[in-house]
């Protein structure tokens, strides 16, 4: 079976100890060879980053523990409180992203505007959990890097209109002229044309695109799931259940509880001998993944040169985050 890196989605060979793209350890190699996990014996840092005990963020390595994620955020001067990211904390108030450890489980979550919580990941794979929040943090930084600095720079430099007023002042509002009758008629005519012809076409296009997006968002990740003491596998949206009696995989139709909470039951992308079941990769249902070199997901870390450092003079507007979605 050809494995896939759970962090950057690049192909992993059977003899690859680490991912050749992002440097993450190959758990299948560790299990098959019986070597100790690099997270435990320190070999990942010594062999893969060449930095000894110090994790090198500048070389493009991804943080793989909660502590490393804290170090990365500090190195990038990120205003975590303003960003509403809580690393290592089970923060309960609305509008927050976070990660924390509970026993042997790592939980990645998002608290939405209404106070409800969407769990992005819950499982034993700390590196995977950290990677989920790390990627989200980078996305949020990129959204603001252009606009936040420019907006605050205008106020710092004293940019104003010809009357010396900043922003939407009362002086500007009082200075507005009344709209002429002819101009009002033209605007009303334009609105009528838009409502009759343009708006229906736009709505149809938007809903079509939204349906496609919604369908893709509902697609669970490929990999192993553990639910009610049984193992399951999802492959491109199709579900399979392991039959302990016949020692084989078979097609499976999940119940409503499973489908509504599958993120909570996600276990791992790669097979582990400790599962005590047949590797899904050896089942007749398994299909080799197709890799597209132009796919951004397969080259997620190709933007390692991007500067995620946050300027002290920039303001972070947490209101720019979509707090009503699950992630």
Is 194 inside any structural domain? yes
Q: Into how many domains does the chain fold?
A: 1
pLDDT of residue 250: 95
What is residue 313's DSSP assignment? T
Residue 236 located in a structural domain: no
| 206 falls within a domain | yes
* Measured distance CA(84)–CA(319) in Å, rounded: 10
- What is the residue-wise DSSP string for 180-223? PHHHHHHHHHHHHHIIIIIHHHHHHHHHHHHHHHHHHHTPPPSE
Assess if residue 318 is contained within a domain: no
Q: What is the pLDDT of residue 269?
A: 77
Length of the chain: 327
Q: What span, in angstroms and rounded, lies between the C-alpha atoms of 67 and 283? A: 38
**pTM, whole model, 2 decimals?**
0.44
171-175, 216-220, 311-315, 316-320, range with the lowest pLDDT: 171-175
pLDDT at 39: 42
Q: Is residue 209 part of a domain?
A: yes
Q: Is residue 208 part of a domain?
A: yes
Q: For the segment 194-204, what is each residue's pLDDT rounded down to a tens digit?
A: 667 767 777 66
Compute the chain's Rg from CA coordinates.
Answer: 25
Q: Please report which confidence band the pLDDT of residue 293 belongs to, taking 50, 70 and 90 as the band edges.
A: very low
Does any domain span residue 175? no
Q: Which of 4-18, 68-82, 261-275, 277-291 has the highest mean pLDDT?
A: 68-82
Average pLDDT score over the chain:
74
pLDDT for 5: 75
In a domain, 101, yes or no: no
Which domain does 197 fall in, by range?
182-213
């Amino acid at each position: 079976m050809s494995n896939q890196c759970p962090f950057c989605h690049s192909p992993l060979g059977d003899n690859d100890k680490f991912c050749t793209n992002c440097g993450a350890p190959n758990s299948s190699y560790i299990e098959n060879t019986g070597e100790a996990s690099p997270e435990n014996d320190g070999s990942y840092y010594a062999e893969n980053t060449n930095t000894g005990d110090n994790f090198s963020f500048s070389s493009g390595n991804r943080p793989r523990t909660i502590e490393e994620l804290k170090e990365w955020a500090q190195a990038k001067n990120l205003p975590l409180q303003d960003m509403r990211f809580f690393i290592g904390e089970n923060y309960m108030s609305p509008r927050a992203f976070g990660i924390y450890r509970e026993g042997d489980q790592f939980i990645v979550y998002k608290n939405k505007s209404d106070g409800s919580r969407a769990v992005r990941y819950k499982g034993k794979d700390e590196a995977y959990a950290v990677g989920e929040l790390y990627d989200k943090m980078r996305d949020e930084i990129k959204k603001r890097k252009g606009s936040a600095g420019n907006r605050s720079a205008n106020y710092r430099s004293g940019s104003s209109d010809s009357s010396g007023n900043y922003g939407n002042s009362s002086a500007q509002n009082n200075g507005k002229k009344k709209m002429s009758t002819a101009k009002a008629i033209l605007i009303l005519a334009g609105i009528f044309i838009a409502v009759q012809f343009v708006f229906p076409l736009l709505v149809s296009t938007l809903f079509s695109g939204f349906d496609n997006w919604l369908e893709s968002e509902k697609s669970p990740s490929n990999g192993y799931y553990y639910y009610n003491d049984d193992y399951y596998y999802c492959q491109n949206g199709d579900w399979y259940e392991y039959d302990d009696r016949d020692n084989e995989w078979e097609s499976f139709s999940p119940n409503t509880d499973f489908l509504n909470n599958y993120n909570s039951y996600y276990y791992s992308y790669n097979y582990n001998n400790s599962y005590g079941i047949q590797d899904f990769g050896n089942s007749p249902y398994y299909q080799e993944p197709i890799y597209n070199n132009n796919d951004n997901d397969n080259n997620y870390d190709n933007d390692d040169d991007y500067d995620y450092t946050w300027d002290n003079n920039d303001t972070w507007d947490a209101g720019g985050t979509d707090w009503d979605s699950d992630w």
